[in-house]
């Protein structure tokens, strides 16, 4: 195989591409978590196009190696030392075959981004995001997570003596396959929720529990 340029350690991937299905559904490989990178880039685009001036420094970053230990997020958190972290990732559409709703909760594509209660999620920051969703009429779904969110939220939340963090997830069917599926409305609503959250935050935002 050397003559083909394929060597031990060479990276290969499936050729499957992107397709648009009926009723606002998209399929493709590696939406987890390329869609997260797209959505945070859209937040940046909206801020620029709408000439929004933020009263704080905003870092928009796309982490690597989440699946093998949250390593990219750990490096980012140590380098930037953020005061607040808004994290986006995919979450299971629990109507997917072989997904147990008793474990994963009740979440479906097309019904809005998913917010989570979890040890790594800051309750006051989560309440702020929930209020924004209500005020802006953005539909959300809910999950309860236990020891770990399984996302970069865990790295940010426990970094640098603690960082208030919130997780805004987008429902995904057939996770970790070449035909992952998500819904256009969820993409738009997740972008809107992150965008409105960034606009709401300020140095005066009080996230103290006491």
Catalytic (active-site) positions? 66
On the CB side of 57, how many CA atoms lie within 13 Å of its CA? 6
Nearest to 185 by CA among 125, 128, 137, 126: 137
Give the count of beta carbons closer than 10 Å to the beta carbon of residue 107.
Answer: 25
Round to whole Å and give the CA distance between 73 and 65: 8
Q: What does each C-alpha distance from 140 to 26, 94, 164, 165, 184 come to in angstroms? A: 20, 15, 20, 18, 15
Round to whole Å and give the CA distance between 75 and 78: 5
Q: State the DSSP code for 120.
A: T
Residue 78's φ and ψ, nearest 5 degrees, are: -70, -35
Round to whole Å and give the CA distance between 30 and 136: 30
Using DSSP, how many helices (H) and how many strands (E) does the chain show?
Answer: 6, 7
């Amino acid at each position: 195989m050397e003559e083909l340029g394929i060597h031990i350690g060479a990276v290969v991937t499936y050729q499957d591409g992107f397709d648009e299905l009926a009723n606002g559904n998209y399929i493709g490989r590696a939406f987890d978590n390329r869609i997260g990178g797209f959505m945070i880039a859209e937040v940046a685009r909206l801020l620029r196009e709408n000439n929004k001036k933020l009263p704080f420094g905003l870092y928009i970053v796309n982490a690597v190696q989440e699946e093998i230990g949250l390593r990219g997020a750990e490096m980012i958190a140590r380098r930037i030392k953020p005061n607040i972290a808004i994290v986006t990732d995919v979450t299971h559409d629990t109507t997917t075959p072989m997904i147990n709703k008793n474990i994963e909760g009740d979440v479906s594509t097309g019904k809005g981004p998913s917010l989570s209660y979890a040890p790594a999620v800051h309750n006051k920051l989560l309440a702020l995001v929930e209020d924004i969703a209500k005020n802006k009429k953005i539909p959300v779904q809910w999950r309860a997570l236990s020891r770990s969110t399984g996302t970069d939220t865990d790295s940010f939340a426990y970094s640098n003596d603690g960082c208030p963090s919130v997780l805004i997830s987008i429902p995904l069917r057939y996770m970790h396959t070449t035909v992952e599926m998500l819904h256009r409305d969820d993409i738009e609503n997740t972008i809107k929720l992150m965008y409105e959250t960034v606009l709401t935050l300020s140095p005066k935002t009080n996230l103290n529990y006491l």
